[in-house]
A = this chain, B = another copy of it.
Amino acid sequence: MTLHFAQDASSFAVAPSRLDAYVASRSFDQPTLVMDLDRVSAQYRALKAGLGRADIHYAVKANPARQIIARLVDLGSHFDAASKAEIAQCLAEGASPADVSFGNTIKRASDIAWAWDQGITLFAADAEEELEKIAANAPGASVYIRLIVEVSHADWPLTRKFGCDKDMALRLLDYAKALGLRPVGMSFHVGSQTRQAAMWAPTLDAMAHIWQAALDAGHMLDLLNIGGGFPAFYGEEIDAPTAYAAQVMQMVEARFPNVANIMAEPGRGMVAEAGVIVAEVMLTSRKSDRDMHRWVFLDIGRFSGLAETEGEAIRYQFETARDADPMGPCILAGPSCDSADVLYEKRPVSLPLSLKAGDRVLIRNTGAYTSTYSSVCFNGFPPLDVVVI
């Protein structure tokens, strides 16, 4: 299985050889995510080249490794934090409080107070009660309202968990003002892993309509947060990062003329391709002579880092040393005694027929939403190990 990285020419020189050289020269006694910091730098620069005047707020939840935050601070990135711990991590690595937004719409009141005390001034909200918590614990803070825009073309559309509709948003802008807060703008999310920039158009159209309604209602908005959705390569074609980001910005500028500040929150699109998981085959088997497919069991599964395989949503790319051998489909599963710990069954994965217990398997582009999803010790398995090079 040959892997095709989707990347700009500018980042081509650093990957994937540095990761591969490191991995090839070492043995690992448990599943391990290896992250290449230089690949993160290259991706930051590629995205920034396209995003232009927009501020990048790296979505820390994608991968909060200390070294990644530190590198992004050095590069001038801003940060989108989901919790007190993520804010603390950013500040500890040298980020300025002015460059860290508290983007989770669901915040503990005491965490808002703590963040405000640290100098964090920008908070997300999508509900009256959230605004009340912010007003009480961060009086006078800036807030942006998150919208639901249900026209997604993402590989993994978001549920209605976050955001509110237009009428509610306009009321929340008023309510924020009444509570003494500074309602500065709006945010939305096109959906995780939106593979082509062109897919943003319907969402941006809908948002521009809502934005104009807010302006018409007299709100002085100066911040548009375009959220995440920047893709990583998982086997299906994606636009290269600079071209993708530039096209998104072109569409944004055309629909939101003269908006003072724009922020974007890439997470997956920043770090996924900078990581590879080194795993091992535990067992290959058939359940019955009548079975269509083999089963292949890895030492990593849905509860030890590969949570995004739920519903077979994210399809990772696998590499083994036997990929020149004849290939065949298999059902791929994790090592735990949990029947839900199956990675790909509806759409089997093609792996070498010669694969056997003890073989190494590389899982490509796994730098985002893996290490922190890992369970603490389900079935007694240790959490995914992380090495940053």
Contacts and interface: CB of A to CB of B under 8 A. Distances in A.
A378 B382 contact: no
B282 A108 contact: yes
Copies held by the complex: 2
A41 to B, nearest CB: 23
Interface stretch (A45-53, A154-162, A204-212, A214-222): A154-162
A92 interface: no
Nearest to A166: B288
A153 B151 CA distance: 40
Interface stretch (A1-9, A122-130, A240-248, A254-262): A122-130
Contact of A337 (B127, B162, B357): B162
A109 B280 CA distance: 11
A342 B376 contact: no
B373 A295 contact: no
Given A129-B357, A310-B340, A356-B129, A379 B372 contact: yes
Interface of A: 59-61, 64, 81-87, 89, 103-109, 126-130, 133, 148, 156, 158-165, 167-168, 192, 280, 282-290, 295, 297, 299, 303, 307, 310, 333, 335-342, 345, 356-358, 371-383
Given A82-B336, A168-B287, A378-B373, A159 B126 contact: no
A78 to B, nearest CB: 16
B283 A380 contact: no
